[in-house]
Amino acid sequence: MARGCVCCVKYMLFLFNLIFWLGGCGLLGVGVWLSVSQGSFATLSPSFPSISAANLIITLGAVVMVTGFLGCLGAIKENKCLLLSFFIVLLVILLAELILLILFFVYTEKVSENARQDLKDGLVLYNTENNGGLRAAWNTIQGEWKCCGVTNHLDWFAALHENGVPDPCCQTLFPGCGRNASNTFWTRGCYEKVEEWLDDNKHLLGTIAMCVLVIQLLGMAFSMTLYQQIHRAGKKYEA
């Protein structure tokens, strides 16, 4: 009966982590593809040039792959060391998420203020060399979200030192429209649009966060249950 329970938990944990590992492979593949072929997904922050969509996805994919691999191998081999390592990795990730979440809510205003200022500082690099990714990213965001600058179109006046904006800021888009002061620009800033999107989708984002939390807790529970079962079975065998 005990062996049957061990096998049940073992294969549940293996299947759980196999899906986890495959998901990590997919994320890693998408991240590499973005990094190689999609320069428009560059960072918008001059203070953190390495924090781009591609790099974040690659990092997330690598962490998920390693975690899933530990869980798969630990389950199929019934290895206590690997199972314990898997549990500790999930615990560290969970604690890091909770700490970041608490810090974010405690310092929300400070984080928002610093993010706005950092994005404004990045606007200065729009027309500089070797910043094609940043330029393409701003063009894409402003065109898709129908916004202009960080807080409004005046951000571009200060950054570019002229009364002009990138063409995607124009409500009627045509080449060179941003240089014509008589044209109508999008009045809302992109930061405000992002905040609005997050507020509109807070229930969806909360549901996703809860699903991730449940998956992490299930992984920890399965790994520790299997660890305990193997430990008890080993003691009985020794006796």
pLDDT tens digit at each of 239 positions of the chain: 455 666 777 888 888 888 888 888 888 888 787 777 655 455 666 666 666 777 788 888 898 888 888 888 888 888 889 889 999 999 999 999 899 889 988 888 888 888 898 889 889 888 887 777 778 888 888 999 999 999 999 999 989 888 889 999 998 888 888 887 667 899 899 999 989 988 999 898 889 888 888 888 888 888 888 888 877 766 665 55
d(CA 91, CA 113): 31
Number of other residues whose CB lies within 10 A of the CB of residue 231: 12
Between the alpha carbon of residue 86 and those of residues 89, 157, 179, 206, 219, the distances in Å are: 5, 52, 56, 25, 9
Three-class secondary structure of residue 24 per DSSP = helix
Task: For residue 185, list its beta bridge partners.
Answer: 170
Entry pTM: 0.76
Among candidate residues 207, 162, 166, the one with its CA nearest the CA of residue 190: 166
Task: Yes or no: say if 222 and 9 are a contact pair by the CB < 8 Å rule.
Answer: yes
Task: Yes or no: say if 134 and 126 are a contact pair by the CB < 8 Å rule.
Answer: yes
Helices (H) and strands (E) in the chain, counts: 8, 0
Three-class secondary structure of residue 128 per DSSP = coil
